[in-house]
Chains A and B, each alone.
Chain A
Amino acid sequence: MEMTGLQIQLEAFLQALTAGVLVGGLYGLMCVGLAMIFGIMRVINFAQGDFMMLGMYVTYYFFILLGAHWLAGGVLAPYVSVLLAVPVMYVVGYLTHRFLISRVTGRRGAALDGEGHYAQLVLTLGIALILQNGGMMVFGPQLVSLRTPLSSSAWEIGPLWGDYVSVFANKGRAVAALISVAAIVLLGALITRSRLGKALRASADNPVAASYMGIDVNRSYRIAFALGTAVTALAGGLLATNFPFHPFVGLEYVIIMYAGVVLGGIGSILGAFWGGMVIGLVQQLSALVLPMQLQNAAIFVFFLLIVMLRPQGLFGRVSERT
């Protein structure tokens, strides 16, 4: 028996859905990283995508250092590299905030009045330019990829309908999505349970009140920025195990991150994850009806629609004041 038209369409749909969920898990993690920074500190960090790119290259060099066949025939090496890159990027984020970002945010930013917000935008734009172009000088312009045996094999789910309609889940992406979810659960526990998490949330909610309660708000911001950078780098490293990348790759993802964060409702960490997930689904499902090149254009249009129609996000509340 031949596959019917309906079955073909169903299979394509399910395949896109699966791909969307797997990619969406990664995007979700990326967005959570940004939500730590944008959501908690209200700092627009244009360099977020480029920090992710840096995380990808750090992962890549750890991978080279370890050797492709190190441990379990190379299956584990990429993931170990990712985990090694995370603390490195935490430090990068910490120092970036300490020496650059903190000078235009917080108290000092407030002194700059309306221009404080200009200053943040332009400062992070400068960092982005340095990272992108510096990246090209240091790493070279060519595409790089982290080869793992997992990214070229897949699990088959099905057949689901008679002998047909099978869905393939790429192993590399599935593992990456699982690690993402695990990381978010850990981060969620850190934020809701730990003393540090409480300090972060208090600083986000009302910095002045938090400082009256003896919380070092500047330290909270520094840690939030560092954590955000580290989480984004983790997402980047996982992404690098599945997709090739180059020094300008950050630009492709930075809008995805903001779209996810806005969609999830600014300030909500968990919302950002679901926002990223939705963006992943939109991107993959749009491929069913749109040509490949327009996949990213679809994300931008979707982002514009969200910002215009529901600036408070799908999960957020209105807080407009006059």
Chain B
Amino acid sequence: MKRLPTSLTMLLVAALYLGAALLVNNAYHQLIFTLVLVWACFGLSWNMLSGYTGLVSFGHAAFFGLGAYAAVLGQVYLGLSPWVMLPLAGVIGAIAGVLVGLPTFRLRGHYFALAMLAYPLALLYVFEWLGLQEMTFPMQRENPGLYMQFADRHYYTVIGLVMLLVFVQITLYVERTRFGMALIAIKQNEAAAEAAGIDTLRWKLRAIALSGAIAGATGAFYAVVLLVVTPVSVFGMLVSAQALTVSMFGGVGSVWGPIIGAAILVPLGEILHAELGATYPGIQGVILGVAIIAVILMAPEGVFWKLRDGWHRRKAAAVASATAAIPAAAAGATIPAGPAGAAGQAHGQGAAPAEAPLGSAAANQPTPLPRSPSPAANDIILDVQSVSRSFGGLKAVQNVSFSVRRGMILGIIGPNGAGKTTLFNLLNGFLRPDTGKVIVNGVDMAGRKPHVLCAAGVGRTFQVMRPFMRLTVAQNVKVGAYVRASDEARAEALTAQAIARVGLSDCANKVAALLTTRELRLMELARAVAGQPELLLLDETLAGLGHGEVDDIVDAIRALSAEGITVVIIEHTMQTMVRLVDEFLVLDHGQVLTRGDPQAITQDPQVVQAYLGKKWSAQHAA
């Protein structure tokens, strides 16, 4: 069975909806038809920011309210028609989005949610203070249509439907492109996204601008439909809650979610309000509350995902093929899975000739390969000069200087708490050094953001793995490829190449959550490699692996090195390191203790006793 494309399905649903709306003549029911569209639009606005990035906003009423007031004030004071003000409200919403986002995106999680709550509430009081308690659109007796004042209220449904379809198209476009990929990567792991070369702040600002624009235009339309604007009706808590409720109820991170949510909850609330509102004022709010509690407890992922999962499961059972059941759907991952995955398997064409199969030949040779030292011994790719960083009184990294020659593998060792990971964080931009320089290819990059360093050719993996759990291997790696790719095709080529280089081609379409530790490590490696780094920082890449698994990773690293990538690796497992690295740098208490080739370091009695233990030194003394 072939699936209809989402936009075509959407058009069909829209046509049916319009047909139903045209059949209804009762003014109140007509209004409900329009309000469903308003809240679906607003839900899509919320979904654009919070659904895809995972940053929960409780303040979307700020954009909605500004749009609503823009429409009414524009007509009252400037005589501007809503036809003009609707797009203008979108612009205002976008600007407000950027202004709100710039300071607020410094916050995460709970703090972000709380801070967002404050904006509409502050605006509410400001608008009350300005004396704009109740603003009404002046009636236009001549040419009411020019001012969006229709006697036949079906027109409002039509306008709302057109707006919704436009917003749906925008959402689908975002989902399809690197825009959506960046947002989903941010949602799943912001630090990893940043290290993979995604300018997280820029994408988040784009998302909030788009989201604010949709909210602003929707707010303006809402004001036109209701003809009256009060601060509470557009800036109130209930407005922000409405956006979140319809999206959560329907399913976050999907274009269908907010629409389903609005289509169910809005008529339910309105009808209850109409039937029982006189005897039980507030019944609408209570039902809304009960509905969202029920959804959270029974289907926290929302109606859309619940149904889709159920459908998938039934289909999977029918086909009886175990591979068909993809448990990824639970979250917001409606990424076009097709092309990237296909490219992952059809790799080859774009890949470099150097990507010889790493598997068999190398794996059978546990003994160190004779590695040729780098060709240009004086070509320094990374020069770290007197870098220091303290946390309060703790001097995590003190006055560390070292340089890395192009093409070498440098191992950094030291006991727990020696400052190894902090040093990496300083090198790839997660932390800003208090003093010192980090010179990459002759340019001081100290304190630059991770995505800038990634673009400059510094890739990294993490001690605690940071995969995007709900994306496939190919999608994970593709996130890392975007930094070097101008278009989707190029990104896919780089992805396929990187996956092949680490030897993961056979699980390119597996969801990251299903991978073994070994595969995850290789995938992280591929994600870093996809950005075509000159320098790879590997943070305990071998941790948590069994013996044979270690060899696979070591082989992959060695192959990358042979292709000319410079590697700096932090590790605990000494024995493996000895046969992997060209030189060791020993850190202790945040300072460089010594540096030298593996032979010298393993025989340095001071190092041996302090870091490898007396037993090891006794065994290897001979």
Interface residues of A (CB under 8 A from B): 42, 44, 100, 103-104, 112-115, 117-119, 121-123, 125-130, 132-137, 141, 247, 251, 255, 258, 262, 291, 293-294, 296-297, 300-301, 303-304, 307-308, 311, 317-318, 322
Nearest-Cβ distance from residue A16 to partner chain B, whole angstroms: 19
* Subset of 30 A-B contacts with CB under 8 Å: A44-B113, A103-B297, A114-B331, A115-B301, A115-B331, A117-B110, A118-B56, A118-B248, A125-B244, A125-B245, A126-B289, A126-B293, A126-B296, A129-B238, A130-B285, A130-B293, A132-B282, A133-B284, A134-B285, A137-B280, A262-B111, A294-B126, A296-B121, A297-B122, A297-B125, A300-B121, A300-B122, A303-B115, A304-B122, A307-B107
CA distance A251 to B129 in the complex (A): 18
Q: Which residue of A lies closest to B425 (CB)?
A: A322
List of B residues within 8 angstroms of A104 by Cβ = 296-297, 300
Chain B residues contacting A135 (CB-CB under 8 Å) are 282
Minimal Cβ-Cβ distance residue in B for A38? B110
Residues of A within 8 A of B288 (CB): 126, 129
Whether the Cβ atoms of A137 and B282 lie closer than 8 Å is: yes
List the 10 closest A-B pairs by CB distance, nearest first: A133-B285, A133-B282, A129-B289, A130-B289, A300-B122, A126-B293, A136-B282, A297-B125, A293-B129, A126-B292
Interface residues on B, range: 35 or more
**Of A125, A129, A293, most B-chain CB atoms within 10 Å:** A129
B237 at the interface (CB under 8 A from A): yes
- Give 13 A-B pairs besides A121-B56, A126-B288 with Cβ atoms closer than 8 angstroms: A104-B297, A115-B301, A130-B290, A130-B293, A133-B284, A134-B286, A262-B114, A291-B129, A294-B129, A296-B125, A297-B129, A303-B114, A317-B392
The listed residue (B128, B286, B296) touching A293 by CB distance below 8 A is B128
Chain A min CB distance to B454 (Å): 14
Specify which of A44, A112, A115, A301 is in contact with B110 (CB 8 Å cutoff).
A44
Q: Is the CB of A121 within 8 A of B113?
A: yes
CA distance A308 to B102 in the complex (A): 11
Q: How far is the CA of A137 from the CA of B279 in the complex (A)?
A: 8
Q: Are A307 and B114 in contact (CB under 8 A)?
A: yes
* Set of chain A residues within 8 Å of B80, measured between Cβ atoms: none
Task: Indicate if the CB atoms of A311 and B122 lie closer than 8 Å.
Answer: no
Q: Is B188 positioned at the interface, with any CB of A under 8 Å from its CB?
A: yes
CB distance from B280 to the nearest CB of A (A): 5
Question: Whole-angstrom distance between the alpha carbons of A123 and B296 in the complex?
Answer: 6
Most buried by A among B292, B331, B425: B292
Contact B110 A42 (CB under 8 A): yes
B289 touches A133 (CB 8 A): yes
Q: A255 near B286 (CB under 8 angstroms)? A: no
Pair A307/B297 contact, Cβ less than 8 Å: no
Near A by CB (< 8 A), chain B positions 271-292 give: 280-286, 288-292
Which B residues, 108 to 124, have Cβ-Cβ distances below 8 Å to chain A? Answer: 109-111, 113-115, 117-119, 121-122
Cα–Cα, bound, A232→B481 (Å)? 51
Q: Given A125-B241, A130-B286, is A293 in contact with B125 using a C-beta cutoff of 8 Å?
A: yes
How many angstroms from the CA of A255 to the CA of B470 in the assembled complex? 35
Name the distance in Å between A176's Cβ and chain B's nearest Cβ.
25
Contact partners of B391 in chain A: CB under 8 A? 318
Assess whether A114 is in contact with B110, with CB atoms less than 8 Å apart.
no
A119 to B285 Cα, complex, angstroms = 19
Distance in angstroms from A290 CB to nearest chain B CB is 9
**Inside 8 A of A137's CB, which chain B residues have their CB?**
280-283, 286
A118 CB contacts on chain B under 8 angstroms:
56, 248, 252, 300
- Contact of A322 with B431 in the complex, beta carbons under 8 Å: yes
Per-residue CB contact flags for chain B residues 384-412 toward chain A (1 = under 8 Å, else 0) read 00000001100000000000000000000
- A117 touching B109 in the complex, CB below 8 Å, given contacts A122-B292, A297-B125: yes
In angstroms, how far is the closest chain A Cβ from the Cβ of B188?
7
Q: Please, which residues of chain A bring their CB within 8 A of the CB of B121?
A: 251, 255, 296, 300
- By beta carbon, the residue of chain A nearest B236 is A251
